[in-house]
Amino acid sequence: MRTFLMTGIVICATAAAVVRFELWPSFASAGNSGDKTYIVKSEDPAMRRAAYKASAGLDGFLKKLDNPPPGTDNYAVKVGILDDGDGYRLTGKNETAIVEYFWLTDVTRTPKGFTARISNTPEDIRHVSVNQVIAFGRADIFDWMYMENGKLKGNFSACPALMAGPREELEQFIAEYGIECN
C-alpha cells in the first residue's frame, strides 16, 4: 500500500511507499491540524480533483509569482523529496521509497527551472533540512499556494485531507482562509 502523510494527515494508495505532506509552509499562521492523523484514499474523488486543480492552475500561479499583483504574498510550492543514497532527489512516478512533500518558499526562477527554500522540518527524509535551498523544475511542483488580501489561494491538497477529519477543523480552515472545499 502506498501511504501519503500530510502534517498528520494520511492518504493511502496502492504501491509500497510512504509519502509525507506538510499542510502549511512555516510562514503560515497557526490553526492547522497539528499532529492529528486522518486517512484519505488516493482514489478519493476529492484528492483527484485537488491534483487536477493544482495542475490546471499552475500557469496562472507562475505568472503571478513572476509579477506579484498588489495584495499578494507568501508564494510557495510543494514538491516531493526522497532520500537517495548519500543525498536526495525529487520524486518521480510510482516511487517505492519514503517520500516527503515539502512546502518551498522564496521561490525564484532560474535558467533551468526554480530554486526555493524548504519551509518544513523533515520527518523521514535525512538528506534535506529546513531552510535548505534546492533546485527543481516545473514538473516537480505538486501543489502551490499564495495569500491574496488575507485569503488563501491554492493549497488544493489540504481540502481532501481535512475533509477526512473532524468537520469543525474543516469549517475552521474554510472560514479562516476563505477557500472552497467541494
**SS3 assignment, position 150:** coil
75 or 12, greater pLDDT: 75
Name the amino acid, one letter, at 5.
Answer: L
pLDDT score, position 19: 46
pLDDT score, position 11: 37
What's the length of the chain?
Answer: 182
pLDDT score, position 121: 81
pLDDT above 60: residue 4: no
pLDDT score, position 171: 84
For the chain, list the strands marked E by DSSP. Answer: 2-6, 9-13, 17-21, 38-41, 72-84, 87-90, 98-110, 113-118, 133-136, 141-148, 151-154
pLDDT score, position 94: 53
pLDDT tens for residues 110-144?
A: 999 999 999 888 877 889 999 999 999 999 998 99
pLDDT tens for residues 143-177?
A: 999 999 988 899 888 887 777 777 888 888 788 87
For residues 19 and 57, what is the distance between their CA atoms, to the nearest angstrom? 23
Q: Give the pLDDT band of residue 73 (cuts 50, 70, 90).
A: very high
pLDDT tens for residues 8-41?
A: 333 333 333 344 555 666 554 433 334 343 445 5
pLDDT above 90: residue 104: yes
Tell me which residue of 19, 17, 31 sits closest to 157, measured CA to CA. 19
Residues 6+ apart with CB under 8 A from 32: 7, 23, 24
6 or 52, greater pLDDT: 52
Question: What is the pLDDT averaged over residues 61-78?
Answer: 96
Residue carrying C-alpha cell 474554510: 174
